[in-house]
């Protein structure tokens, strides 16, 4: 643990050696000839790899003899069996020289396989041995052993080759006499072929190694033997050997040279001179990608870019089949682990360091000139750390290479803040700073802390820091009612100084309670707002949004989707899909939204890249990475890709095609009644993608009685797309849906008979999907205005509850807006609060798509009795009175965290803290550097779908992330475990493949979140670890659990206060 309470861990392993030295054997050639001397190089090294001299060894050469017989198996089958015996034919005694090396030779008298064994004793009489093999050819027949398959193993004389060398390859044929053979050189295709006459069964082949063989080439020999006295049946044998060929002629030599030797300061400009040469040392034109990264980040994650040489010239697969799949190879991908370095924290003297970055520079394309030279200049951020510049290069001739160079940013006097990553209103943290003196003399340093949003005591202090030493300074603090804290630390001593400014988020001490209403103003609407009895008057507000059109009324929903805090595949698509459709609709109506036009391309590009990254090998998608593909989610992704493509965004056709293939493959599986709704979703998606299946859609139409209402709407739209001239089936579905509408004073909507957890469906989502179908298939329906009014009234806080409700409501309302021309508006509005006019204005085509926001803090409202909110829509002067006025009014208020009581509406949640070394005694206080175990108990009376469990952290703690390379190997990661006697077996789970409860866990600065696609009813414990890093008293918000797409099912624990004492 360092002085700012950050834990760093390392790990290692111990090797137990057989003896105090090792023997290495390397034949000068693995392939030799009978009657000619064969030699083996010997080396001895100690356990550290240092040569060991004057070591006596015994080397034994043994001929491996094969005794092959055919044995009868069953009634009529015969199989070859082989027994092996190694017969010593030569023994040599050698002693390694002053370099630890020796050469031992012998002359084999006949062909075959020879095993070479070297033995020696160390000073403790431990025997050390090593072995290798030699293959010797002969003009006489050699028994290589008889096999029960048609393969032989070709033997190369070396492990690897350089271009220009000649490979010597032994062909160990099992046949006697002269035979014909086909030689081919292969990799991806046949590079070369020729016929061979093999005079013996141990012929040697000599093959020149060409540069284009890099990184490897396959040598194939097919031997054909007809019928003769030694071979009663015509047969063939196939042999392969892979030759590794050096990529040296394809590798670039890159040098990166900074313009200074020694340290840099923050915000210094560094100029890097880059030179690229080929294998002959000549400068070449090349394209490079450059990025400058804080080495501390790489130390945490172990991140090291893939080796471009390995990526381009890794070992290649064979890619060629001989006969009927006798030998097929696939690519092997190499991965390397990077050597870890060190990095750290903070900029230049006389400035306030606040520009901190993980990546300081990124240039995807830097070109060298004809001499292979280029340069780039980078201004360093304010981090005090080691900055690593990495370069990867490629030429037009696909020569590739990589390089790296480090520079260090440092100060003579520096201040390192010791603060939490976030704060909560009412927290009482002890803020700190570590002052480092890197000069050769003691310094009297004045250290100060200036704060906004936080009240600190004794803001200015003086401390003596020894030469090359450090001292810690602390300030008790109280967090106020603000959105963000600004902390400015300063240290000055003599001619040296440093200053650091941090901005930390401040969260409210409890999850806000929000109550609200939405509706439509015909002439006048009166809403009454009453504050609850227990409320924090320093927080919260009453917000009213006036929306002159559906376009304006959808803004809160679009913003909710844009800022949603998680990135599962559904939310990734939901973040851009409505914007794409809205963009097309506004463009069609002749309305420009400059902000949307500017942000949409980047928004779509980011989402598409994540979609491609999350796609499974089968072409589908799961809720989170590495989760089995789900047809409903996969259909939603394909639908999003299709809409993006319609909006003229470039979509990867490979990813789209694989996704469509997955959906079609899923449709081919045996169907069940439980999957009718999912099949309707998939069929509609395929129809939108131009890959529809009319036959399956018609077949499903006949089974519609078992389908949900939203699924019938999907099916109606699919049938309309696939057969626009055949209206009988879509019309029948639309009539059934119209007859099922529920009419009320607030409008028309639909209610499903049963919930559909897997489809993320609610009655609001059903109503939106049916509205979309009605707009497309029956735009003249009198139901439409009533459905639109109900959807707008169904909003809470200006939007709908879930991401899926928002997406489908926005899509449906956008379609209605285009079809109805609802953007024509000409009227006047007014708003009064407690009898005082707050705002009034006129609506026209110029501002019809812009909402009007009014907001009042709860402290400005009446504490007792009702607050009167009056909204009016009138016509004045020559106004036509056309257009609609929608509104949303919602009150957001807070209760102090320690007063928040547990609440269970379908889920029970309880949270307890324990010391990691005492898991039986719950605690409410600990000490800095203590490791805690957090135990969340969750009781689900019913099955849960798409569960989210969120646990806010005490601001003085950090979750232990076991994925980081600096975390102790003994640390426990998050775990979810079912408790009780009635544990759910895999066979009881719906939909084969949903075997795993915990789909995904996220460890964030301020909370830990668990996601589970499906959680069978029962009792569960979710545990994870915390480290206490900052002393103080911290207010902890309740842990909450909820179904992401069913807002009414949720639960929360109690809030609490957690105290952390300063360590020794």
Q: What is the pLDDT of residues 65-96, one digit of tens each?
A: 988 787 777 766 777 788 889 999 999 999 99
Q: Phi then psi for 99, rounded to 5 degrees?
A: -100, 5
pLDDT at residue number 612: 97
The answer on pLDDT for 4 being more than 90 is no
Cα 855–Cα 861–Cα 862 angle in degrees, nearest 5: 160
CB contact at 8 A, 353 and 268: no
Q: Return the exposure string of 246-283: e unless at least 16 CB atoms fall within 10 Å of the residue's CB, then b.
A: bbebbbbbbebebeeeeebbbebebebebbbbbbeeee
121 pLDDT more than 60: yes
User: Is residue 323 classed exposed, middle or buried when 0-12, 13-18 and 19+ CB atoms within 10 A define those classes?
Assistant: exposed
Question: Of how many residues is the chain composed?
Answer: 1064
Asked which of 118-122, 314-318, 721-725 is least confident by mean pLDDT, the reply is 314-318
> Tens digit of pLDDT for each residue in 11-37?
677 889 999 999 999 999 999 999 999
- Model pLDDT for residues 569-614, shown as the tens digit of each residue: 999 999 999 999 988 887 877 777 788 888 999 999 999 999 999 9
Q: Is the pLDDT of residue 307 over 90?
A: no
Tokens representing 518? 């939405």
Answer for the pair 224, 181: CB distance below 8 angstroms, yes or no: yes
Tokens of residue 517, six digits: 């209403």
Q: Which of 60-64, 82-86, 431-435, 833-837 has the lowest mean pLDDT?
A: 82-86
Write down the pLDDT at residue 998. 66
3-state secondary structure of 296: helix
Quote the radius of gyration of the chain (alpha carbons, Å): 37
Angle of helix 763-777 relative to helix 709-722, nearest 10 degrees, comes to 30
pLDDT category at 782 given cuts 50, 70, 90 is: very high
At residue 499 the predicted structure's pLDDT band, cuts being 50, 70 and 90, is very high
Residue with tokens 């989610």: 633
pLDDT of residue 5: 65
pLDDT of residue 303: 61
CA distance 453 to 440: 38
Q: Hey, where are the domains in the chain?
A: 18-147, 149-246, 249-319+339-408, 413-507, 516-549+823-893, 550-822, 897-1061
897-1061 matches 149-246 in CATH topology: yes
Question: Selecting from 3.40.50.12280, 3.40.50.300, 1.50.10.20, 3.40.50.800, what CATH number does the domain 550-822 have?
Answer: 1.50.10.20
Q: Is the pLDDT of residue 826 over 70?
A: yes
CA pair distance 445, 426, nearest whole angstrom: 31
Contact 1023, 413 (CB under 8 A): no
Cα–Cα distance measured from residue 74 to residue 90, given in angstroms and rounded to the nearest whole number: 43
What's residue 214's pLDDT?
92
* Integer Cα distance of 743 and 750 in angstroms: 9
Question: Which residues on adjacent β-strands are paired with residue 906?
Answer: 1050
In this predicted structure, the answer to whether residue 170 has a pLDDT above a threshold of 70 is yes
Q: How many CB atoms lie within 10 A of CB 830?
A: 17
| pLDDT at residue 249, rounded to an integer | 94
Q: In degrees rounded to 5, what are phi and psi of residue 585?
A: -65, -45
**189-200 residues labelled b (16+ CB within 10 A) or e (exposed):** eeeeeeebebeb
Q: What is the mean pLDDT of residues 126-152?
A: 90
**Fold of the domain built from segment(s) 897-1061:** Immunoglobulin-like (2.60.40)
CA atoms within 13 A on the CB side of 1040: 16
Burial class (CB in 10 A: 0-12, 13-18, 19+), 984: middle
The answer, yes or no, to whether residue 899 has pLDDT greater than 80, is no
3-state secondary structure of 636: helix
Q: What is the DSSP string of 509-577?
A: SSPPEEEEEEEE-SSEEEEEE---SS--TTS-EEEEEEESSHHHHTHHHHHHHHT-S---HHHHHHHHH
* CATH topology (fold) of 249-319+339-408: 2.20.130
Q: What number of helices (H) and strands (E) belong to the chain?
A: 15, 59
What percent of the chain is modeled with pLDDT above 90?
74
* Least confident stretch, 94-98, 668-672, 789-793: 668-672
830 φ/ψ angles, rounded to the nearest 5 degrees: -150, 155
Cis peptide before 215 (omega within 30 of 0): yes
User: CATH classification of 149-246, choosing from 3.20.20.20, 3.20.20.70, 2.60.40.1930, 3.30.70.3270?
Assistant: 2.60.40.1930
For residue 132, the model assigns a pLDDT of 96
pLDDT in tens, 945-985: 999 999 999 999 999 998 877 676 667 789 999 987 555 54
Instruction: Identify the CATH class of 516-549+823-893.
Output: mainly beta
Across the range 366-380, mean pLDDT stands at: 97
Q: Phi, psi at residue 986, to the nearest 5°? A: -60, -35
The yes-or-no verdict on residue 1020 having pLDDT over 90 is: yes
18-147 CATH pick, 2.60.40.1930, 3.30.465.10, 2.40.40.20, 3.40.50.970 = 2.60.40.1930
* Residue closest to 946 by CA, chosen among 756, 711, 699, 763: 756
Who contacts 133 (Cβ-Cβ below 8 Å, separation ≥6)? Answer: 30, 113, 114, 115, 116
Question: Kindly report the CA angle at 64 between 62 and 68, in degrees rounded to 5?
Answer: 160
Residue 509 in tokens: 């001490």
Q: Would you state the pLDDT for residue 982?
A: 53
In 368-483, DSSP assigns E strands to: 373-379, 386-394, 400-408, 413-418, 423-424, 428-437, 443-452, 454-456, 460-465, 470-479
* All residues at 6 or more sequence positions from 745 whose CB lies less than 8 Å from its CB, including other chains: none
Angle between helices 803-820 and 569-588 (to 10 degrees): 10
pLDDT-based confidence at residue 355 (cuts at 50, 70, 90): very high
Higher pLDDT, 325 or 656: 656
Model confidence at 990: pLDDT above 70: no
**What is the distance between the alpha carbons of residues 901 and 1054, in angstroms, rounded to a whole number?**
5
Cβ atoms 6, 1029 nearer than 8 A: yes
Are the C-beta atoms of residues 867 and 530 closer than 8 Å to each other? yes
Tokens 């009927």 belong to residue: 324
Confidence label for 523 from pLDDT (cuts 50, 70 and 90):
very high
Domain 413-507: give its CATH code.
2.60.40.10
Farthest-apart Cα atoms in the chain, separation: 118
The rounded distance, in Å, linking the Cα atoms of 36 and 969 is: 56
């Amino acid at each position: 643990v360092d002085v700012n309470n950050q834990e760093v861990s390392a790990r290692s392993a111990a090797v137990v050696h057989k003896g105090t030295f090792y023997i290495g054997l390397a034949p000068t050639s693995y392939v030799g000839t009978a009657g000619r001397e064969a030699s083996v190089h010997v080396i001895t090294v100690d356990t550290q790899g240092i040569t060991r001299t004057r070591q006596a060894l015994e080397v034994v050469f043994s001929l491996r003899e094969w005794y092959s017989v055919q044995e009868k198996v069953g009634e009529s089958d015969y199989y070859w069996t082989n027994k092996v015996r190694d017969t010593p034919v030569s023994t040599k005694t050698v002693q390694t020289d002053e370099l630890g090396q020796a050469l031992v030779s012998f002359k084999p008298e006949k062909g075959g396989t020879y095993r070479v064994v070297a033995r020696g004793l160390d000073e403790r009489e431990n025997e050390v041995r090593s072995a290798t093999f030699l293959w010797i050819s002969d003009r006489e027949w050699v028994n290589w052993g008889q096999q029960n398959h048609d393969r032989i193993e070709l033997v190369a004389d070396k492990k690897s080759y350089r271009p220009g060398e000649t490979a010597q390859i032994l062909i160990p044929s099992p046949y006697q006499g002269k035979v014909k053979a086909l030689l081919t050189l292969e990799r991806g295709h046949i590079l070369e072929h020729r016929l061979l006459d093999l005079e013996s069964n141990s012929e040697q082949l000599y093959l020149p190694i060409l540069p284009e063989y890099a990184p490897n080439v396959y040598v194939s020999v097919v031997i054909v033997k007809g019928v003769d006295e030694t071979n009663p049946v015509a047969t063939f044998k196939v042999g392969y050997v892979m030759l590794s060929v050096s990529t040296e002629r394809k590798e670039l030599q890159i040098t990166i040279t900074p313009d200074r030797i020694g340290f840099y300061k923050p915000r210094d400009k560094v100029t890097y001179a880059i030179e690229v040469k080929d294998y002959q040392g000549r400068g070449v034109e090349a394209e490079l990608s450059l990025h400058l990264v804080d080495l501390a980040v790489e130390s945490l994650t172990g991140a090291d870019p893939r080796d471009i040489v390995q990526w381009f010239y890794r070992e290649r697969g064979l890619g060629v089949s001989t006969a009927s799949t006798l030998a097929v190879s696939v690519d092997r991908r190499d991965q390397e682990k990077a050597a870890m370095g060190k990095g750290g924290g903070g900029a230049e003297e006389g400035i306030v360091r606040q520009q901190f970055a993980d990546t300081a520079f990124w240039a995807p394309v830097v070109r060298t000139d004809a001499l292979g030279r280029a340069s780039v200049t980078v201004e360093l951020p304010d981090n005090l750390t080691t900055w690593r510049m990495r370069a990867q290069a490629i030429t037009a001739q696909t020569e590739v290479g990589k390089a790296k160079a480090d520079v260090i940013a440092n100060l003579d006097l520096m201040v390192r803040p010791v603060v939490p990553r976030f704060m909560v209103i009412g927290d009482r943290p002890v803020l700190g700073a570590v002052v480092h003196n890197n000069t050769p003399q003691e310094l009297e340093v004045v250290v100060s802390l200036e704060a906004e949003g936080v009240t600190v005591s004794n803001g200015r202090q003086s401390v003596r820091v020894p030469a090359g030493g450090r001292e810690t300074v602390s300030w008790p603090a109280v967090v106020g009612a603000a959105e963000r804290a600004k902390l400015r630390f300063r240290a000055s001593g003599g001619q040296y100084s440093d200053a650091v400014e941090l901005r930390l988020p401040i969260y409210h001490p409890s999850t806000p309670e929000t109550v609200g209403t939405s509706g439509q103003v015909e002439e006048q609407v009166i809403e009454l707002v009453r504050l609850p009895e227990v409320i924090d008057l320093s927080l919260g507000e009453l917000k009213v949004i006036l929306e002159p059109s559906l376009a304006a009324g959808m803004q809160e929903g679009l913003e909710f989707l844009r800022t949603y805090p998680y990135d599962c595949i559904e939310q990734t698509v939901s973040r851009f899909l409505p914007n794409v459709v809205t963009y097309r609709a506004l463009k069609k109506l002749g309305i420009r939204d400059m902000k949307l036009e500017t942000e949409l391309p980047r928004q779509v590009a980011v989402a598409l890249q994540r979609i491609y990254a999350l796609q499974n090998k089968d072409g589908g998608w799961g809720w989170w990475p590495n989760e089995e593909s789900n047809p409903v989610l996969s259909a939603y992704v394909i639908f999003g890709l299709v809409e993006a493509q319609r909006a003229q965004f470039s979509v990867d056709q490979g990813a789209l095609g694989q996704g469509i293939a997955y959906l079609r493959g899923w449709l081919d599986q045996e169907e069940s009644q439980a999957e009718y709704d999912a099949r309707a979703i998939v069929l509609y998606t395929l129809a939108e993608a131009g890959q529809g299946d009319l036959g399956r859609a018609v077949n499903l139409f006949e089974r519609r009685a078992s389908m949900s209402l939203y699924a019938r709407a999907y099916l109606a739209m699919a049938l309309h797309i696939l057969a626009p001239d055949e209206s009988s089936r879509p019309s029948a579905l639309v009539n059934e849906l119209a007859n099922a509408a529920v009419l009320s004073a607030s409008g028309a909507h639909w209610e499903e008979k049963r919930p559909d957890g897997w489809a993320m469906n609610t009655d609001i989502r059903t109503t939106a999907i049916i509205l979309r179908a009605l707009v497309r298939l029956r735009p003249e329906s009198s139901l439409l205005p009533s459905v639109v009014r109900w959807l707008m009234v169904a909003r809470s806080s200006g939007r709908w509850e879930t991401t899926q409700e928002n997406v489908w409501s926005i899509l449906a309302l956008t379609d209605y807006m285009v079809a109805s021309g609802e953007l024509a508006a000409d009227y006047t509005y007014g708003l009064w609060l407690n009898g005082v006019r707050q705002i009034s204005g006129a609506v026209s085509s110029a501002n019809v798509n812009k909402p009007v926001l009014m907001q009042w803090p709860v402290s400005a409202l009446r504490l007792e009795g009702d607050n009167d909110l009056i909204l009016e829509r009138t016509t004045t002067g020559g106004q036509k009175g056309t257009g609609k006025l929608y509104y949303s009014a919602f009150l957001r208020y807070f209760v102090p965290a320690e007063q928040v009581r547990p609440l269970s509406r379908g889920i029970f949640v309880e949270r307890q803290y324990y010391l990691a070394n005492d898991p039986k005694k719950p605690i409410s206080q600990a000490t800095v550097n203590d490791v805690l175990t957090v135990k969340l108990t969750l009781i689900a009376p019913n099955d849960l779908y798409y569960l989210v469990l969120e646990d806010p952290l005490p601001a003085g703690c950090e979750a232990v992330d076991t994925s980081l390379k600096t975390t102790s190997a003994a640390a426990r990661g998050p775990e979810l475990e079912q408790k009780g006697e009635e544990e759910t077996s895999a066979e009881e789970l719906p939909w084969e493949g949903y075997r795993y409860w915990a789909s995904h866990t996220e460890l964030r600065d301020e909370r830990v979140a668990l996601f589970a696609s499906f959680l069978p009813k029962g009792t569960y414990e979710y545990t994870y670890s915390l480290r206490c890093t900052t002393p103080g008293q911290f207010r902890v918000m309740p842990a909450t659990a909820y179904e992401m797409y069913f807002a009414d099912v949720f639960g929360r624990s109690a809030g609490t206060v957690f105290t952390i004492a300063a360590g020794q």
